[in-house]
Amino acid sequence: MRFPFVSTLFCFLLALFSLPSSAQFRVEVSGVGLTQVPITVMPFKGQATAIAKISEIVQADLERSGQFRAVAATHGALDEVSLPDLSVFRRAGSDAVVSGSVSTLADGRVDVRFRLWDVVKGQDLGGQSFAVNAADARLAAHRVADYVYEKLTGDKGAFSTRIAYVTKSGPRYQLWVADADGENAQSALASPEPIISPAWSPDGNQLAYVSFESRKPVIYVHNVSSGKRRLIANFKGSNSAPAWSPDGKTLAVTLSRDGGSQLFLLSATGGEPRRLIQSNSIDTEPVFSPDGRGIYFVSDRGGSPQIYKVGVNGQGVERVTFTGAYNISPSISQDGRWMAYISRTGGAFRLHLLDIDSGNVRVLSDTAADESPSFAPNSKMVVYATQSQGREALMTTTLDGKVKARLNGQNGDIREPHWGPFLN
Amino acid sequence: MRFPKAQLVFVVGVLLATWAHAGLFEDDEARKAILDLRQRVEKLRADTDQIQTSSKDENAGLGRGLLELQRQMELLRADLASLRGVNEKVAKDVADLQQHNKDEAQSLSERLSKLEPAKVSVDGVEFVVTPAEKRDYEAALAVFRKGDFVNAQSQFSGFLSRYPGSGYALTALFWLGNAQYATRDYKEAIVNFRSLIAKNPEHLRAPEAVLSVANCQLELKDSKGARTTLTNLIKAYPQSEAAVAAKERLASLK
């Protein structure tokens, strides 16, 4: 194939998947961070009989962030109203303790309560309670983790957000919406033909994606809660790579309707596309900068695929990547500081991170087939697809690459992750 | 309908006569015309074949030419793309180099300024000093300002022997004299004040130096000498502040 960066897109489509899919994941944390807060998450009172082991979810969330190190609980029951003997935790090397309880209310809802203690200062850092539907018990756990993360790091936690991804098992493709730890997945769409490039709208209510169900790539926008969807781009040739503007009103897309893959802007309600730039090269994979003023994209105009940036008015194309002969799939962090992307180095496709201001680049992975990086909405982590032990899997990594967690598909191959926005 | 027999015979006879007449007069001409036409058709066919063959050849040539053009365009396009890529890289390298150069130049000039002679202005005189000279002078002055007059003397003496031609020299002499006055070494103070006056009577500090000499003389109970010095001061520097002080001092001496 003439343009290899197109072929990587399609090798996914051609790849053979042998295992049935499942929505269940397991988190494996590996690697060592440098400044991690040692924390003890006590088993929540009542969680043995509850739907979800809240403390385990909280602990896994915190560990995955790379900012925390779990210290095993030294003694038994504690809930959000107990006054813990902090010296015990201090001796165990813990800087913070989370304790809480889970109970089922008469109406069937689950009541999750917790309290956070600063062991070093001997301070009560507050707590919350969530009464949620039983199905949302895991969400409540993620909210606990968000609270702890924000209190102890000062940054907003992104554990209660969602990710979208695609699985394939046999001839069946499925688009899923899952918790940020990959679990609790709900199927949004099933199709015998490939589904690729899911992209969350900024309000977290809609997913744009490319479906091959009509035997050619066309773009849909799908309302996640209602399940209703509408055809957005079905022009002659291929319709691919949708990306939302920060205000949710516009989609940047790649169309080949006038010959060659070129970038267009399209109203999120459909209609006639406006050409963004005209080139005689392949331009694709657009993403908006968080300020909405620029669009990053991939082009082979310089003889090899590189990432460029252009003003949203189509003016002022400038090249962004200069190290390596093959750079694709940009994702920009919400704070505008970082760009995650895939670079081919020595035949391996690896996740890289560019400090946009300084131009410094670091490699975040040591795997060989990384794809589709996407930032957490708090700009602190990246989710990406990779191959591990011959299987397609999703990984999250911290920005220093030191702490990675595998969102482990038990029974399937998972690709095309996209991390959703904060939900209110 | 029935024809009578005689009528039929007549009709046949007429028809035969007509045919015989045509055969007799036009057969050869027709044959010739046909042959002629046949020949022309053959010629036309040959011509057409020839034209077809040659246009086929031409078309094939054109097609090859077009293919070749297309191939060359593809090559040019690829060349252009790789040149654009090289250009992008070179532009980036140049920008990086410019930035690097600027940074280097800045840090170099920062480092050099610590070594390079610099222009200073002291007591109304502009001159050039080395960084070491400036540092030593300022250190001595700082000791003087602290009121450590013993150390100030040794610092200024040291300075004057290290940098005898320094632009700071006269000013250093002035402060040395003052330090000596402060430690009651009036004789040495007088020597240094006079040395300053002798080297440059127009120096900004000269009137003050003369006044200081008089002060030293008074301390040494040489009121006659002091009176002479004060009188000379008023004469030599009538506009100076020191002259005003000298007048008061003279009046109190009388």
From B77, B81, B88, residue closest to A319, measured CB to CB: B88
Q: CB–CB of B84 and A302 under 8 A? A: yes
Pairing label, strands A361-363, A348-355: antiparallel
Q: CB–CB of A303 and B78 under 8 A? A: yes
Residue range B227-252: average pLDDT? 91
* Residue pair A127/A82 in contact by the 8 Å Cβ criterion: no
Domain assignment of residue A375, given as a range: 162-420
Q: CB–CB of B81 and A306 under 8 A? A: no
Chain B residues in contact with A304 (beta carbon < 8 A): 85
Tokens read off for A336: 């505008």
Signed CA dihedral, B31, B36, B40, B43: sign only: positive
Domain boundary pick from A153, A179, A201: A153
pLDDT band at B24 (very low <50, low <70, confident <90, very high): low
3-state secondary structure B47-83: HHHHHHHHHHHHHHHHHHHHHHHHHHHHHHHHHHHHH
Q: Are residues B122 and B108 in the same domain?
A: no
From B77, B82, B83, residue closest to A280, measured CB to CB: B77
Domain boundary pick from B114, B135, B167: B114
Distance CA A294, CA A307 (A): 13
Distance CA A34, CA A401 (A): 12
Per-residue pLDDT at B7: 63
Per-residue pLDDT at A270: 85
> How close B205 gets to chain A, by Cα (Å)?
55
Q: Are residues A111 and A251 in the same domain?
A: no
Which CATH number goes with the domain that contains A50? 3.40.50.10070
Distance CA A395, CA A401 (A): 11
Please state, in angstroms and as integers, the Cα–Cα distance from residue B253 to each residue in A365, B189, B227, following that order.
93, 22, 8
Q: Are residues A76 and A57 in the same domain?
A: yes
Q: Are residues A132 and A226 in the same domain?
A: no
Per-residue pLDDT at A24: 37
Distance CA A157, CA A150 (A): 6
Q: Are residues B139 and B79 in the same domain?
A: no
The number of domains in chain B is 2
Q: Say if A301 is an interface residue toward chain B (CB within 8 Å).
A: yes
**Stretch among A375-379, B18-22, B171-175 having the lowest mean pLDDT:** B18-22
**pLDDT, tens digit (0-9, with 9 covering 90-100), for B226-236:** 999 999 999 99
Burial of A385 (0-12, 13-18, 19+ CB in 10 A): buried
Chain A residues in contact with B83 (beta carbon < 8 A): 303
Domain assignment of residue B91, given as a range: 26-114
Q: What pTM does this model have?
A: 0.73
Q: Among B88, B90, B97, B100, which would you mutate to test the A interface (most chain A Cβ atoms within 10 Å of its Cβ)?
A: B88
Pairing label, strands A37-41, A68-70: parallel
Tokens read off for A36: 């991690």
The number of domains in chain A is 2
Distance CA A385, CA A407 (A): 10
Q: How many CB pairs under 8 A join A and B?
A: 28
Q: CB–CB of B85 and A281 under 8 A? A: no
* Residue pair A22/A409 in contact by the 8 Å Cβ criterion: yes
ipTM, interface predicted TM-score of the complex: 0.75
Q: What percent of the residues of chain B are helix, what percent strand, and what percent coil, each to the nearest 5?
A: 80, 5, 15
Residue range B151-156: average pLDDT? 95
pLDDT above 90 for B87: yes
Domain boundary pick from A114, A136, A153: A153
| Minimum Cα–Cα distance from A321: chain B residue | B89
Residue identified by tokens 């030593």 is B136
Kindly give the confidence (pLDDT) of every residue in chain A, 424 residues in length, as a single tens digit, with 9 standing for 90 and above.
234 444 344 333 333 333 333 333 444 555 554 578 999 999 999 888 877 889 999 999 999 999 999 998 876 677 777 777 888 888 889 999 999 999 999 999 999 999 999 998 989 999 999 999 988 999 999 999 999 999 999 999 999 999 999 998 888 999 999 999 988 899 999 999 999 999 999 999 999 999 999 999 999 999 999 999 999 999 999 999 999 999 999 999 999 999 899 999 999 998 899 999 999 899 999 999 999 999 999 999 999 999 999 999 999 999 999 999 999 999 999 999 999 999 999 899 999 999 999 999 999 999 999 999 999 999 999 999 999 778 888 999 999 998 999 886 546 789 999 999 998 7
Q: CB–CB of B88 and A302 under 8 A? A: yes
